Copies of this chain bind each other. A is one copy, B any other.
């Protein structure tokens, strides 16, 4: 059966999945965790085979590390599942309860999105993470993992799928796509896949975004900025920049560009250069910057670059407005920070910068669902539609309007025979 046919069948199961009570969904998560723990040797064996095969193809150490699924990764995903179980139900929440007229009651109630396609590279733990997020939120998940961990993915998928079916989840709650050409088949399923979540490199995410009509939640680039305003406190500034650049260089929320107010440049840049060079960071800057500190001279167009490495772009700006214009032009609308002791400047910066996260005096690395206290993270979105920034479980739900009547017709309201009185009802009272 091709992927399209299977996803169509899954779509038919999705209302059943959506209607499952919280207890069933939580039991399914318990069962999945138990199955993974009890079969860990099988998982590690499959992963060992994947790793050996990958090693022969000469993959780099960084990628090899991401392919690995060991005790440590297992602990992480089990902890993740347990956290999810303890989170409140994202479904059946009443967002609006209103009597439109006597005996005509409108409720806006959260419900699952339906069928979610997840396409991920390399990390097999992503399979466990995302499928458990989908189970908790009542969504069906089509999973397509990277070919390097095909054996690990297959074992993980089968263990989870069987465990949750044993708890009463429909067969179509999960589907694994295994062949590479199935990615393009999946991207063409815009009539039966409601949302795509890609996880992987920039080019990979960009490819997904450019080749589908299905809405995509995620981010390609993470070109984050720190702007040092004239009124900065040096003792805060240096640790923030070093942390934002070096604490985890491969992260999307690592800083890529440092903007410095002209009034601060002569005094601040030499201090920054010293701290950053001690931290192993290589600087690149405009000609003007190179006249103050040693750095490689770069072209304006290169400010679009996301290094994901110990390299930082540096530029001098006239004022806050120029900093904002630079960020809105060259940034990726992810997370940007102003270093200032002036609250009015901070508020102005936050209002004008068109990014999911706008920060004052702290590291851009805080942009993360766990650090925001969301309990679970679906991903980080740089889109502005639906969900923006770090996305928790609520990014996997939508809502529907339920209207209960007693025979009301619109003709009576159009003719003036009846009229609406719009009275809010007690949401807590429920349906």
Contact residues of A with B, CB < 8 Å?
11-12, 14-16, 18-19, 98, 100, 104, 106, 111, 113-114, 194-195, 209-210, 213, 215, 217, 233, 235-236, 239-240, 242-244, 247-248, 324-325, 328, 346-348, 350-363, 365-367, 371-373, 383-386, 388-390, 398-411, 413-414, 420, 422, 431
How near does chain B come to A268, taking the closest CB pair, in angstroms? 15
How near does chain B come to A23, taking the closest CB pair, in angstroms? 16
How near does chain B come to A25, taking the closest CB pair, in angstroms? 14
**Contact (Cβ within 8 A) A215 B385:** yes
**Contact (Cβ within 8 A) B400 A358:** yes
Chain B, residue nearest A111 (CB):
B351
**Contact (Cβ within 8 A) A403 B353:** no
The residue that A413 contacts in the complex, of B352, B355, B371, B402, with Cβ under 8 A, is: B371
21 pairs, A vs B, C-beta closer than 8 Å: A15-B351, A15-B353, A98-B372, A104-B362, A113-B384, A114-B384, A215-B385, A217-B385, A240-B409, A247-B410, A347-B431, A350-B402, A358-B400, A358-B402, A360-B403, A363-B410, A365-B409, A365-B410, A371-B410, A371-B413, A373-B420
Query: Among the interface residues A236, A357, A385, A386, which one has the most CB atoms of the partner chain B within 10 A?
Result: A385
The residue that A398 contacts in the complex, of B15, B247, B385, with Cβ under 8 A, is: B385
By a CB distance below 8 angstroms, the chain B residues around A236 are 406-407
By a CB distance below 8 angstroms, the chain B residues around A404 are 346, 359-362
How near does chain B come to A99, taking the closest CB pair, in angstroms? 10
Query: Among the interface residues A355, A400, A402, A431, which one has the most CB atoms of the partner chain B within 10 A?
Result: A400
- Kindly state the separation between the CA atoms of A352 and B355 in the bound complex, as whole angstroms: 37
**Contact (Cβ within 8 A) B240 A400:** no
Chain B, residue nearest A383 (CB):
B215
**Contact (Cβ within 8 A) A362 B195:** no
**Contact (Cβ within 8 A) A352 B19:** yes
- Kindly state the separation between the CA atoms of A362 and B420 in the bound complex, as whole angstroms: 14
- Kindly state the separation between the CA atoms of A328 and B404 in the bound complex, as whole angstroms: 20
Copies in the complex: 2
Chain B, residue nearest A431 (CB):
B347
**Contact (Cβ within 8 A) B362 A408:** yes
By a CB distance below 8 angstroms, the chain B residues around A19 are 348, 351-352
How near does chain B come to A152, taking the closest CB pair, in angstroms? 27
- Kindly state the separation between the CA atoms of A347 and B111 in the bound complex, as whole angstroms: 13
By a CB distance below 8 angstroms, the chain B residues around A248 are 410
By a CB distance below 8 angstroms, the chain B residues around A194 are 384-385
**Contact (Cβ within 8 A) A354 B98:** no
By a CB distance below 8 angstroms, the chain B residues around A111 are 351
By a CB distance below 8 angstroms, the chain B residues around A347 are 431
- Kindly state the separation between the CA atoms of A235 and B137 in the bound complex, as whole angstroms: 40
**Contact (Cβ within 8 A) B401 A389:** yes
Query: Among the interface residues A14, A353, A360, which one has the most CB atoms of the partner chain B within 10 A?
Result: A360
- Kindly state the separation between the CA atoms of A15 and B336 in the bound complex, as whole angstroms: 15
Interchain residue pairs A-B with the least CB separation, the first 4? A362-B405, A236-B407, A243-B409, A365-B410
Chain B, residue nearest A99 (CB):
B373
How near does chain B come to A52, taking the closest CB pair, in angstroms? 32
**Contact (Cβ within 8 A) B406 A399:** no
How near does chain B come to A350, taking the closest CB pair, in angstroms? 5
**Contact (Cβ within 8 A) A400 B389:** yes
